[in-house]
Amino acid sequence: MEQLLGNMWTGLIINENETHYFVQKNGMTFSMDKTEEKPMNIGDMVEGFAYRNQKDELRFTQDIPKVRQGKYAFGTVKKTRKDLGAFVDIGLADKDIVLSVDELPAMKELWPKKGDHVLVSLKVDDKGLLWVTLADDTQFSAMSRPAKEETMHNKDVKGIVYRVKLVGTYFITSDYYLGFIHPDERYQEPRLGEQVSGRVIGVRPDGILNVSLKPRAYEVISSDADMILTFLKRSPEQKIPYTDKSNPEEIKKIFAISKGQFKRALGNLMKQHLIEQKDGYTYLVKTTDNEIEAPED
């Protein structure tokens, strides 16, 4: 049965009821929704994809997921479980597939969150269980294109993080360029699967973009309030762990301004209802930033 699960094959319709057809292959029977494709009859042959759903039922579908064994595509993270990993939607109506904790970053704050995107393929273990596995650097290199300094320097780019390392963060843009973010070019480390926005500060000899998540100088010199607002817009979840109660030395280190200046700037932004403070965090209230879609496979 393990060879049937997670694979495409052609089976025989042996029975039906009001809601389902029953498809058989190698003595195993799978249910298929009647809402799919055109009406069929007992005795017809049908091609589809086999899996176990959330209720551990054997299912068959003609709506073939893009993520398959040996086939990579972006899936959407639905939730995470610290003892298991991330549950990823690959296009099956009644089954999210687990990305094992073994493939996720050691630091849980760098795990993907609901709505993030990961490039994965499908695998089946010895027990017939379906898992998704992350694409490696070779896969991203194969699907990307090299950038040129003369066309990309100082350009704004958006992309999805696919690798988090001590040396920095790697992401792929919606135009299929690969980007690298050095730790000095960010305020906080992006998580796996997160959508990031930055600017190109250089192009490596191998065609990978060097990108900064920090704002340009002219974007931050207008006022302390503008600087904090830009900081918030570029921060994960558009929040920062600093408020008017924060330590003066910490404020000076992060924002290069005094606590008095910081408090006045926050007060200005709160009067305009642009930010709010809660539980030790300052949150952005109004934003027009747009998210990007995952690149198509």
Q: Say what percent of the chain tops pLDDT 70.
A: 92
What count of other Cβ atoms lies within 10 Å of the Cβ of residue 292?
15
User: Is 172 or 229 the better-scoring residue by pLDDT?
Assistant: 172
Question: CA 103, 108, 113, 117 torsion: positive or negative?
Answer: negative
What count of other Cβ atoms lies within 10 Å of the Cβ of residue 209?
26
Structure confidence at residue 289 (pLDDT):
45
Q: Are 175 and 121 in contact (CB under 8 A)?
A: no
Q: How confident is the model at residue 97 (pLDDT cuts 50, 70, 90)?
A: very high
Q: Domain map of the chain by residue range? A: 7-61, 73-135, 144-212, 223-284
Asked, colleague to colleague, whether 73-135 and 144-212 share their fold, the answer is: yes
**For the chain, how many residues are written?**
297
Q: CB within 8 A of 244, min separation 6: which ones?
A: 262, 263, 266, 267, 277
pLDDT above 60 (res 291): no
The model's pTM is 0.72
**CATH 2.60.40.10 describes domain 73-135:** no
- The kind and range of the H/E element at 262 are helix 259-271
Compute the average pLDDT of residues 190-209.
95
Structure confidence at residue 10 (pLDDT):
96
Structure confidence at residue 2 (pLDDT):
58
User: DSSP string spanning 75-126?
Assistant: EEEEEEETTTEEEEE-S-TT--EEEEGGGS-SSGGGS--TT-EEEEEEEE-T
Average pLDDT of the chain to the nearest whole number: 90
CA dihedral 258, 261, 262, 265 (to 10 degrees): -170
Task: Name the superfamily (CATH) of residues 144-212.
Answer: Nucleic acid-binding proteins (2.40.50.140)
Q: What's the rounded Cα separation, in Å, for the pair 168 and 239?
A: 22
pLDDT above 80 (res 163): yes
What count of other Cβ atoms lies within 10 Å of the Cβ of residue 50?
23
Structure confidence at residue 273 (pLDDT):
81
User: DSSP string spanning 27-60?
Assistant: TEEEEEETTSSS---TT-EEEEEEEE-TT--EEE
pLDDT above 50 (res 110): yes
Compute the average pLDDT of residues 127-143.
94
Structure confidence at residue 286 (pLDDT):
61
Structure confidence at residue 221 (pLDDT):
39
Compute the average pLDDT of residues 138-142.
96
Q: Name which CATH class applies to 223-284.
A: mainly alpha
Q: What's the rounded Cα separation, in Å, for the pair 296 and 175?
A: 10
Which CATH code fits 7-61?
2.40.50.330
pLDDT above 70 (res 293): no
**Phi (first) and psi of residue 130, to 5 degrees:** -90, 135
